[in-house]
Amino acid sequence: MTQLFGLFKKEIGWKDVEFMFIVSATEVYKKFPLTMPADSVRDAIQRTIQAGNLKLSPPQQNAIEMACITMQLSSNLKDMLKKTIEKDGTLNQSGVTELIDAMPRYGIFFRDTPTMADLQKSIFGS
């Protein structure tokens, strides 16, 4: 019977996955600003997925995995993540926009298949 309920999970779009990643990473950053463990971000995302009865496609799962690892390793991305958090703990829209714009430069893509142009920009810049 549990397998039957899995059929009713809602699939979500790439923008939702991107937003879920940013919110989860922000929450983990608030708790662990220096280490930012990738496992903690993944766990936060998994809790959201379970609570919302959501379903990720394999490419979405892979994108989250890569984003978590990259975020953990990049001090520049952590600095940008810090800018997304207001003093009261809410998200700063301009900081989130800056982070979204910067993620592709670090190889983080929230779409099915990054194009060669995306990868070229990620590696060589504009």
Q: Containing domain of residue 44, as a range?
A: 10-111
**Residue 125 belongs to some domain of the structure:** no
**Residue 92 belongs to some domain of the structure:** yes
The predicted model scores a pTM of 0.78
Cβ-Cβ contacts under 8 Å for 53 (sequence gap 6 or more):
8, 9, 10
**Residue 124 belongs to some domain of the structure:** no
**Residue 41 belongs to some domain of the structure:** yes
| Predicted pLDDT at 107 | 86
**Residue 90 belongs to some domain of the structure:** yes
Query: Consecutive 10-residue runs of the chain (126 residues): their mean pLDDT?
Result: 53 91 91 85 91 89 92 89 90 93 89 66 62
Question: Quick count: other Cβ atoms within 10 Å of Cβ 36?
Answer: 21
Check: CB of residue 25 under 8 Å from CB of residue 77.
no
**Residue 4 belongs to some domain of the structure:** no
**Residue 122 belongs to some domain of the structure:** no
**Residue 32 belongs to some domain of the structure:** yes
Structural domain count of the chain: 1
Dump strand ranges (E) for the chain.
10-11, 54-55
Q: CA–CA separation, 40 vs 100, rounded Å? A: 20
